[in-house]
Amino acid sequence: MKKYYKNILVEVPPGAVFRAQTANAVITAYHSGKVLFQGAQAEKEASKWSEGMIEEKPKRRAPRSQPKTTFSPPTTIFNESHIGSDESGTGDYFGPITVASTYIEKSQIHALKSLGIQDSKKISDETILQLSKEIVKLNIPYSLLVLDNKKYNHLQQSGWSQGKMKALLHHHVNELLLKKVPRAPYEGIIIDQFCDPPLYKRYIATENKKLTPKTYFMTKAESYSIAVATSSVIARASFLKELKKLSELVGFSLLKGASKQVDQLIAEIIKKDRELLNKCAKLHFANTKKANAYL
């Protein structure tokens, strides 16, 4: 209201937020939320507000819904039995890529949601490890694949992009899961989208694989699908455990992410034994070169 009257504001009386004066009305707003209209045209002035004649500026828009494509899942899928997959470690210099797929039965959706399962990026490491134990206790069928650093570096050096690795990992982990629950009814498989679905199809086609029927893609899928969210927790928990094992193997406490601190740590490792990097790092990341500054 104050904004609306901004050009006719007058001195503020005690206890008020603002006072404005038109030719025929005085409007006083108080901290309590009350607004007093006085003067010959008081009622007319007040009715502007009560009848909604003054339009509020449109609020900031809600996040745009995702454009529908032929790969978008049907919206009913999230409340039905379905499969979802997600990966972890792709942005971390140290450690493998892990990818998990889970089958969530309709009857388990509530239990999982009440555990507080959500996008693993939003939960602390400790909680992730705790949640992954709870998931195991619920006997949720899942599959997990770990692409270790040696294999990752080998594939990368033979021309595979990280996108292609991810596509084939998702494809394989979902196929593995389907073999585990061959008769389970499901509405579809949701893949947390990391590239355009047609590109995904081309990636897996290079290894003579075809899209599994009822496969859908969506970005930020973990916010919609409990199966994807559960997979994101399992994949991250596995990544954290692998990173710990690698830390013991190479004798350095390996860091997550790809920060400047990572660059410094790389330099320390190189000083000890450069060969160690191939076992614990994604060598093609820019960090490898940046570490030279600390040598």
The distance of closest approach from Cβ of residue 109 to Mg ion in the complex, given in angstroms and rounded to an integer, is 20
The distance of closest approach from Cβ of residue 222 to Mg ion in the complex, given in angstroms and rounded to an integer, is 7
Beta bridge partners of 27: 20, 37
DSSP-derived 3-state class of residue 10: strand
> Rounded to whole angstroms, how far apart are CA atoms 106 and 66?
24
The distance of closest approach from Cβ of residue 144 to Mg ion in the complex, given in angstroms and rounded to an integer, is 15
Closer CB to Mg ion, 19 or 84, in the complex: 84
Closer CB to Mg ion, 19 or 236, in the complex: 236
| The two structure tokens encoding residue 291 | 């570490």
Residue closest to Mg ion (Cβ): 192
The distance of closest approach from Cβ of residue 37 to Mg ion in the complex, given in angstroms and rounded to an integer, is 55
Whether the Cβ atoms of residue 7 and residue 22 lie closer than 8 Å to each other = no
The distance of closest approach from Cβ of residue 254 to Mg ion in the complex, given in angstroms and rounded to an integer, is 21
Under the rule (CB under 5 A), what is the footprint of Mg ion?
86, 192
Closer CB to Mg ion, 66 or 292, in the complex: 66
Q: What is the 3-state secondary structure (H, E, C) of 64-118?
A: CCCCCCCCCCCHHHHHCCEEEEEEECCCCCECCEEEEEEEECHHHHHHHHHHCCC
CA 207 to chain centre: 28
Task: Quickly tell me which residue has 């972890």 as its tokens.
Answer: 88
Whether the Cβ atoms of residue 291 and residue 264 lie closer than 8 Å to each other = yes
Closer CB to Mg ion, 98 or 287, in the complex: 98
**Rounded alpha-carbon distances, angstroms, from residue 118 to 19, 62, 216, 232:** 48, 20, 19, 8
Closer CB to Mg ion, 19 or 170, in the complex: 170
The distance of closest approach from Cβ of residue 15 to Mg ion in the complex, given in angstroms and rounded to an integer, is 53
Closer CB to Mg ion, 28 or 143, in the complex: 143
Provide the angle, in degrees to the nearest 10, between the axes of the packed helices 162-180 and 197-205. Answer: 80
> Rounded to whole angstroms, how far apart are CA atoms 35 and 46?
9
Closer CB to Mg ion, 20 or 99, in the complex: 99
The distance of closest approach from Cβ of residue 166 to Mg ion in the complex, given in angstroms and rounded to an integer, is 9
The alpha carbon dihedral of 123, 127, 133, 135 has a sign of negative
